[in-house]
Structure 1
Amino acid sequence: MPYQYPPEGETNLSALLIDEDRLFDAEPKARAVARALYAGIKDLPLLSPHGHTDPRWYAENAAFPDPARLLIVPDHYIFRMLFSQGVRLEDLGVPTADGTAIEADGRAIWRRFAEHYYLFRGTPTRMWLDHTFATLFGLTELLTPQNADAAYNRIAELLQRDDYRPRALFERFNLEVIATTEGALDDLKWHRQIRDSGWKGRVITAYRPDAVVDPDFEGFAANLDRLGEITGCDTGHWTGYLDAHRQRRAFFKSFGATSSDHGHPTADTANLSPKKAGALFDKVRRGKADAGDRALFRAQMLTEMARMSLDDGLVLQIHPGAWRNHSPSMMGRFGRDKGFDIPAETNYVKALKPLLDAVGTAPDLMVVLFTLDETSYARELAPLAGVYPALRLGPPWWFHDSPEGMRRFREMTTETAGFYNTVGFNDDTRAFPSIPARHDVARRVDCAFLGRLVTEHRLGEDEAHEVAHDLAYGLAKRAYRL
């Protein structure tokens, strides 16, 4: 017998899912302080200094596709959960690498999603979706198989309206700035189109050079050839290769970039002499490098990127610790970013030392560290950021972008790094409609944490209001030089 949800009589979304006190402390005094703090920051503009939304949306400002292709097909948080319970990615409309047929009916995908919506109970995905359904699309009932078609019709109808196009939603969301992320070889044509359109929304890019710094990236040698072609630099030699990066970074800065982003398997860095680095590059370039050489090259390139950041001012973001594409069969069938990236143990104290020896005390450098290994918060990351001027802690990321993950982060880092060696919130998402929900969760969790400090007489309430504003807005604006 299929599982029936919700129970009879429990259909009002506002009562069940978006209670005005959600995520606040159950203790009355702490909850009252959290309410007051939240009231002072809830309407602040949203800063999204790193993410993965598609710049083409803002460039063309076309109507979004059907609800399934907007909310389900591109969201690995959703389809990885469904796949874990036996739903094939093909049946969710996820494109295959070889062009094999997939489900093309958006309504069929949506119905399948609704049948399994109960799987998301207790997850941040459920919280984001319910917030989006209620505040953006005006749904008033929990999504079920019984009301799936009505919800689909409502959302599909709204998506055809001009006030639901990307630029209108950008403005409705009160986004002050959003950064997309493009690879080093991207021509940034969509950013050029946005700039040339005269629209005032601030959409900037970020420099992501993984394809030309990671020898294990597919097509690496051809990518270096292409890097040389578009820059006019000799990427067959170390000095020309570095010059090509400098040129591309300057090009990205001309389209608003304030940061670079690096998704390395580990946090390893190196500080080789120019002669040794050049010899290593020659080995990598010729395809003669073994696994150790390739790891050393990635490590050296993080330090080189940090040195370039000292020159051009780009914030260096390091996103290490994901075993990406853990399933080779799924990678072969569907390609990258299909939910099969898994957190791995990550060392920071030893791994970052070569970079920190080189530039860690430079006050003008901003290196933002992210982690998927929470065991490193109190032991490694907070002590490092609590003393090195160049380091800041990025917010809980990916698997830990959740109320519990955010609470653990504050509890484990504040005592050593404080608030001001962190960079506020960063939604880091492809799911554009969920951005307000993600920021709202972060603001509520931070206000709840501050409320507890106030009621425990560890922080004055006037100070808590200042900190709440900084966590929601000021820290990200300063750290990312926005």
Structure 2
Amino acid sequence: MISANSRPSANSTLTLHPDRLFPSDPTVRAIAQRLYQHIKDLPIVSPHGHTDPRWFGDNTNFDNATSLLLLPDHYVFRMLYSQGISLESLGIRRRDGVVVEQDYRKIFRIFASHYYLFRGTPSRIWLDSVFHDVFGLTDTLSADTADHYYDSINAQLVKPEFAPRALLDRFNIEVIATTEGALNDLRHHAKLKGSGYEQRVITTFRPDDVVDADRADFAANIAKLGELTGEDTYSWPGYLAALRKRRAFFREHGATATDHGHPTAITADLPANEAAALFQRCLTGESSLAETELFRGQMLTEMAGMSLEDGMTMQIHPGAHRNHNAVIFERFGPDKGADIPSPTEFVSNLKPLLQKYGNEAGLNIILFTLDETTYARELAPLAGHYPALKLGPAWWFHDSPEGMLRFRHQVTETAGFYNTVGFNDDTRAFLSIPARHDVARRIDCRFLASLVAEHRLTEEEAMQVAYDLTYGLVKKAYQLA
């Protein structure tokens, strides 16, 4: 009898079925196949992500399989940690300088011997696609094949065709956006000037570091903002002027969008004197938690106004309880797999912003959520009414075949397809980007095929929608045309 966690043998073949993720019903599957053939080779547009701009600026080959595939990917080590495997043993650096595992081969072996943990998860789909399509591996990853994988991947990574810019070409990535804080000097994007890649690798303005007054470094960041811009950032008008200057600086490096990772969707529209007084309380550290939350809400409205001025698309990503595991945060810092979705309310929280700017057809705000209960009840009706609003795709924990289907089923009847913005991968895992986009394309074709089979769309209409969901809507939403 085979145990639940038995490992595949070394001769277990790694295959990717051509009809993976398509419906089991043969009639609907055939429609999905035809739709997929129509869009599968379209260029990838990746308008929001967290790949390291240094990779593209320096264009230096990646070091090894572990540092590329495992260490940046919190999907991987959060699963391993959940099974009692310490982050130290996976080579995750500690804040206190305590020595962690540095043998990358040993770390890869730990990962390989526990690869069965990823059965049924989107990570397994993405990783198998990377192993098979990018590196040409044909045996399933296991403890028995760990060294073969590690050596084969490393041998390929040193080749010229695996340099980051060469991979952009190989993956048919037309545009990829990184995400940087407001104080970032964008030096790696500056290196791209004149390379031919400066319009393909662009930045995104994320001002959380200078609008979140709960941060321990908030006051220091405001001072730095003043130094960078020459504005008096201790005054409310000077602070706002400094933010406009930083937005302009980011636009010079290709930015077409901003990103806001707030805990909630609260917005506010305070009179200028009240906003100025609140800002002063935040600066001096005299503000309460409720006041810092109100300040974040005020700044979302201010940023919406600035987007209306300069044309940048605004992305709002609320609803993540960041660093839920205090022990992990204290030892290793943020982004270590301990962020958890939390309930998020949009209708009342967004009303101040929407009353001021929601009717502006020239403003483009994209809403994301980790709270799927809001899709049909709140988000689809809001985006189905306000000209300024669009819905971002299934995000983060819901960036999965089932999550994508739930999204389409719950929002389409109220918001339609054209109040959504296609797909974005939101990842640090560069090599998985083609796999993630392929999953989205397959799921969209699956959903559209069901509408065709039910005679709710013609196949010709479904072809057009498939194209728009894959390519047209994302370029329009992020102004990349």
Q: Which TM-score applies when normalising by structure 2?
A: 0.98
For residues 183-222 of structure 1, give each alpha carbon's deviation from its aligned partner in whole angstroms, at most 9, with x where no partner exists. Answer: 0000000000011445466100000000100001231100
Give the deviation of 1:96 after TM superposition.
1.2
- For residue 333 of structure 1, what is the aligned residue in structure 2? 331
Moved more, 300-309 or 188-197: 188-197
Cα drift, residue 446 of structure 1:
0.2
Q: CA deviation at 1:50?
A: 0.5
The match for 1:30 is: 28
Q: Tell me if 1:186 matches 2:184.
A: yes
* Match status 1:4 vs 2:6: yes
Confirm or deny: 8 A CA contact 1:171 1:201 kept in the other structure. no
Q: Which residue in 1 is equivalent to 2:307?
A: 309
Secondary structure (helix, strand or coil) at the match of 1:195 reads: coil
2: CA distance between counterparts of 1:2 and 1:470? 42
- Write the mapping of 1:33-432 to structure 2, written as runs, cut at 5 A: 33-199=31-197, 202-432=200-430
The CA deviation at 1:457 is 0.4
Q: Name the CA distance, whole Å, in 1 between partners of 2:410 and 2:473.
A: 19
Quote how far apart the aligned CAs of 1:98 are. Answer: 1.9
Q: Is the 8 A contact 2:10 2:145 kept in 1?
A: no
Query: Residue in 1 aligned with 2:443?
Result: 445
What CA distance in whole angstroms lies between the structure 1 residues aligned with 2:69 and 2:10? 27
* Conservation of the 8 A alpha-carbon contact between 1:170 and 1:201: no
Structure 2 CA distance for aligned equivalents of residues 79 and 344 of structure 1 = 21
Q: For residue 470 of structure 2, what is the aligned residue in structure 1?
A: 472
Describe the shift of the 1:294–1:446 C-alpha distance in structure 2 as closer, same or farther (beyond 3 A): same
Distance (Å, rounded) in 2 between the aligned partners of 1:285 and 1:387: 37
TM-score with structure 1 setting the length:
0.98
- Does the 8 A contact of 1:74 with 1:94 survive in 2? no
Gaps of 5+ in 1: none
3-state SS in 1 of match to 2:192: helix
- Measured after TM superposition, the shift of residue 103 of structure 1 is 1.0
> Which consecutive aligned stretches of 4+ in structure 1 deviate over 6 angstroms post-superposition?
none
**One-letter identity of the residue aligned with 2:79:** M
Distance 2:13 2:178 in 1: 36
Deviation, structure 1 residue 327: 1.4
> Judging changes above 3 Å, is the alpha-carbon distance between structure 1 residues 201 and 368 closer, same or farther for their aligned structure 2 residues?
closer
- 1:267 is matched by which residue type in structure 2? A
* Alpha-carbon distance between aligned partners in 1 of 2:175 and 2:98, rounded to the nearest angstrom: 38
Q: What do you get for the CA RMSD once the two structures are aligned?
A: 1.2
Partner secondary structure for residue 194 of structure 1? coil
Q: Secondary structure at 2:193's aligned position in 1?
A: helix
Cα drift, residue 362 of structure 1: 0.2
CA distance in structure 1 between the partners assigned to 2:169 and 2:114 by the alignment: 33
Q: How much does 1:70 deviate?
A: 0.4
Give the letter aligned to residue 219 of structure 2: A
Contact 1:385 1:393 in 2 (8 A): yes
| Distance across 1 between alignment mates of 2:146 and 2:9 | 16
Shift of 1:4: 3.4
Residues 390 and 420 in structure 2, CA contact (< 8 A), matched pair in contact too: yes
Name the SS of the counterpart of 1:251 in structure 2: helix
Which amino acid letter does the alignment assign opposite residue 14 of structure 2?
L
The letter for the 2-side match of 1:152 is: Y
Task: Provide the C-alpha distance between the structure 2 equivalents of 1:38 and 1:218, rounded to a whole number of angstroms.
Answer: 49
Q: Does the CA contact (< 8 Å) of 2:9 and 2:144 recur in 1?
A: no
Aligned length: 478
Q: Which digits, 9 at most, give the CA deviation of each residue in 1:298-334, with x for residues without a partner?
A: 0000000000000000101000000001112211111
Residue type at the aligned position of 2:7 = Y
Q: Distance in 2 between matches of 1:7 and 1:205?
A: 44
Give 1:65 shift. 1.2
- Mark the CA change 1:210 to 1:199 in structure 2 (over 3 Å): closer, same or farther: closer
1:455 corresponding residue in structure 2? 453
- CA distance 1:306–1:199, change in 2 (3 Å): closer
Measured at CA, do residues 68 and 355 of structure 1 come closer, stay the same or move farther in structure 2, by a change above 3 Å?
same
Q: Distance in 2 between matches of 1:60 and 1:8?
A: 37
Unaligned runs of 5+ residues in structure 2 are none
**% identical aligned pairs:** 60
**Superposed CA offset, 1:318-360 (max 9, x none):** 0000000111221111111011100000000011000000100
Structure 2 match to 1:481: 479
Q: In 1, Cα distance between the equivalents of 2:5 and 2:196? A: 51
Distance 1:81 1:301 in 2: 35
AA at the equivalent of 1:187: D
Deviation at 1:76, TM superposition (A): 0.2
Post-superposition shift, 1:95? 1.3
Task: Report the residue type matching 2:95 in the other structure.
Answer: A
Q: Is the 8 A contact 2:199 2:254 kept in 1?
A: no
Deviation at 1:40, TM superposition (A): 0.6
CA distance in 1, matches of 2:459, 2:6: 46
SS in 1 for 2:143: coil
Match of residue 18 from structure 2: 20
* Letter of the 1:12 counterpart: T
Question: Residues of 1 paired with 2:196 and 2:424: CA distance?
Answer: 27
The 2-side partners of 1:283 and 1:59 are apart by: 40
State the shift of 1:8 in Å: 8.6
